[in-house]
Chains A and B, each alone.
With several copies, the nearest count.
Chain A
Amino acid sequence: MNLYEYEAKSIFAQFGITLPPGARITKPEELRKIHFGFPLTLKCQVLSGGRGKAGGIKFAKDLKEGEELAKNLLELTIGGSKTESLLVEPKVSIARELYLAVTLDRTHGCPIFIGSAEGGIEIESSENVVTLPIPYPFHPYVARDLAKKLGLKGSLLLKVADVATKLYRAFEALDLDLAEINPLVVTTGEDVLALDGKITVNDDALGRQELFKGWQSKHLVDLSDRECRSTMMGLNLVELDGDIGILCNGAGLTMATMDMVKKFGGQPATFLDVGGGSDQEKTLFALEIVNENPNVKVILLNILGGITACDDVAGALVNFMKKNPETKLVVRLRGNNQDVAEKMLAQSGLKLIPDLQSAVKEAVQQSKTPVGAKA
């Protein structure tokens, strides 16, 4: 779950990281109540990236300009996401900028610090990036090692190491996947402030982090409506541009099926992993949500049972076909209770295809047949 900048900053503050003063506004006229003076920075609160380039950050020299800019910014849509609010901050007098993050590193299998002596950058494309694995349990010396590797000295080394320590504490305490300060600025007065930040909370940890209880639904704004509903049901749906709706059990098999569809000339419309051990209700929901997509001409259901019982899947299919007799279905079903499932579906006039490659080819062919295609 990605957080808005203002939310990330409230967490930074909670862990003792110094911020510039700031206020969140949802109406231009709220600017009048702000106690710190002009010039001001107005920043769109959106979950998508590329805010700066999309014109989502503006500077106002006085209230009149501020209100005008605020009005426009509050109506701005960036990367498909509507601006949720504005974060207003005084313009900071910057001596230098740094980059600081904690994230999980696959290769080391542990959290790492990422730092750069240049901030406000796209970290993926920066040349001067320093990384440092973080042993568990953490001790602050690791943060000092990082600051040293960034070439810092004296009190600045101590201040940046202190911020890095606090950033790690937040990362660990709140089960974050990413805690990033970019840029971390050093002001002309030698203060070290988190000017902008990004936090990604680990989705699997949401159930044990009191702070984020109930936050999930309002943070799915970069997903389509169907993707959101799937997420809330515990299903992983990714919508694509094609016309073949793919449902499988297991992430790898779903990707492989998608790859095969494409290889044999078809266009996937959905990636939908229904997971292991899905029950009838969940499978039915999955079929319905794929079917809702108006681009879908044919649904390819590929279930290879390990945990999943084929008869449960068949039950869901029978129900679905009753409600949606027009929908084209290609079904590959293999595993536990396959024989029972076969009988159930035969009664509904649906033939199972036991071999995946044949099923994929059949689905591709059906997607290209105009007869009986949905309007």
Chain B
Amino acid sequence: MILVNKDTKILVQGATGKMGASHTKRMLAYGSKLVAGVTPGKGGDTVHGLPVFDTVNEAVEKTGATCSVIFVPPYLALDAGCEAIDAGLDLVVLITEGIPPQDTAKLVAQAKAKGVKLVGPNCPGVITPSETLIGILPGVIFKSGPVGMISRSGTLTYEIALVLSDAGHGQSTCVGVGGDPIKGMGYPELLRAFNDDPATEVIVLIGEIGGTAEEEAAAFIKEHVKKPVVAYIAGQTAPPGKRMGHAGAIISGGKGTAETKMKALTDAGASVATTPNEVVEMVSKARAQLARK
């Protein structure tokens, strides 16, 4: 597993909002070690039994939290994110969708300057099945096992985790990096982490059209990744010039097509699936090969 485990102490920024509260409840039900909620002006309250603080600094001081998951509205995310980063946490998971990308760019720069890991924004979060769930993923779909997953998409991750879990391929950790063009952690850092993680046998990379992140991932895989990689790219039939749901999912100027991404990944030695079910087949095959070794 990477990034998080059952001992990760988590605080929830925006814990008293509608979405924050409902996912706080779910994360607690999953067994995640939530230690604090943060909502300015609501210090002293509780949310589903969790103490609420006015500031991240106070929450960290009182609870020793090392990770924050953020549910605040888009225009407040830069402030909340910097509050978390400057408080010296290890990991900040930014769920919020619709953050103006220049705000995200500032957050990414700040996280880098302070050496803080930032996941998201516009992401489902991170899950290490049976240990901890940080974000909005439906925990019941994920099973513990040796597949490490990295994905730009939310529900598509659930879909693929579902068919993998059904086929007996549990997951070490799943990280949703988010669907925005500007984001925190990207493929290379996570590929490296999974490659170094003893609990991960096979890595599943779920990409989509737009940008060149998958091409960069392919270059990284070729150079550094020893473990089998199964890749899937959504948007194989997407028309050019149209934004397909995610802010980042757009083919522009002939760049960012699924075709070039799939080719780069194939060339880098990854197995490239065209449907979620094919992902399962390829993972099965890879695990069978590893077992034979």
Contacts and interface: CB of A to CB of B under 8 A. Distances in A.
Interface of A: 104, 106-107, 109-111, 124, 135-137, 139-141, 144-145, 147-148, 153-155, 157-158, 161, 172, 175, 177, 202, 204-205, 207-208, 236, 238, 240, 248-256, 258-260, 262-263, 268, 271, 273, 276-277, 304-307, 334-336, 356-357
A109 B180 CA distance: 11
A61 B99 CA distance: 49
Interface stretch (B77-85, B220-228, B284-292): B77-85
Nearest to A307: B136
Contacts, number: 201
Contact of B234 (A124, A136, A208, A252): A252
Minimum-distance CB pairs A-B, first 6: A252-B153, A251-B245, A250-B155, A252-B156, A141-B83, A273-B245
Given A153-B54, A306-B124, A251 B101 contact: no
A252 B157 contact: yes
Contacts of B82: 139, 141
Contacts of B248: 106
Contact of B155 (A153, A154, A304): A304
Given A139-B79, A141-B83, A161-B40, 18 more contacts: A107-B213, A110-B105, A136-B109, A137-B106, A144-B54, A175-B102, A204-B247, A207-B75, A208-B100, A238-B244, A248-B155, A253-B153, A253-B154, A256-B275, A259-B275, A273-B245, A307-B136, A357-B275
B9 interface: no
Contact of A250 (B56, B156, B253, B275): B156
A140 B41 CA distance: 14
B138 A106 contact: no
B172 to A, nearest CB: 20
A219 B277 CA distance: 41
A41 B162 CA distance: 60
Interface of B: 19, 40-44, 54-58, 74-75, 78-80, 82-83, 86, 97-102, 105-106, 108-109, 124, 136-138, 151-159, 162, 179, 181-183, 206, 208-209, 211-213, 216, 232, 234-239, 242-249, 253-255, 274-277
Contacts of A155: 41
B41 A304 contact: no
Contacts of A254: 244-245
Most buried by B among A147, A255, A273, A335: A255
Given A111-B102, A204-B100, A253 B247 contact: no
Point out which of B138, B208, B209, B243 has the most chain A C-beta atoms below 10 A from its C-beta: B138
B199 to A, nearest CB: 24
B107 to A, nearest CB: 10
A304 B138 CA distance: 10
7 contacts: A110-B182, A141-B56, A207-B75, A251-B244, A259-B234, A273-B244, A276-B155
B292 to A, nearest CB: 28
A252 B246 contact: yes
Contacts of B98: 204
A157 B43 contact: yes
A259 B235 CA distance: 6
A109 B213 CA distance: 11
A128 to B, nearest CB: 16
Contact of B153 (A107, A154, A204, A251): A251
A204 B99 contact: yes
Contact of A136 (B80, B106, B245): B106
A305 B100 CA distance: 26
A259 B156 CA distance: 12
B108 A110 contact: yes
A104 B100 CA distance: 11
A308 to B, nearest CB: 9
Given A109-B182, A255-B234, A263-B274, A304 B158 contact: yes
Given A144-B55, A336-B138, A251 B246 contact: yes
Contact of B242 (A104, A145, A238, A253): A238
Contacts of B108: 109-110
B95 to A, nearest CB: 10
A145 B57 CA distance: 8
A328 to B, nearest CB: 21
B105 A104 contact: yes
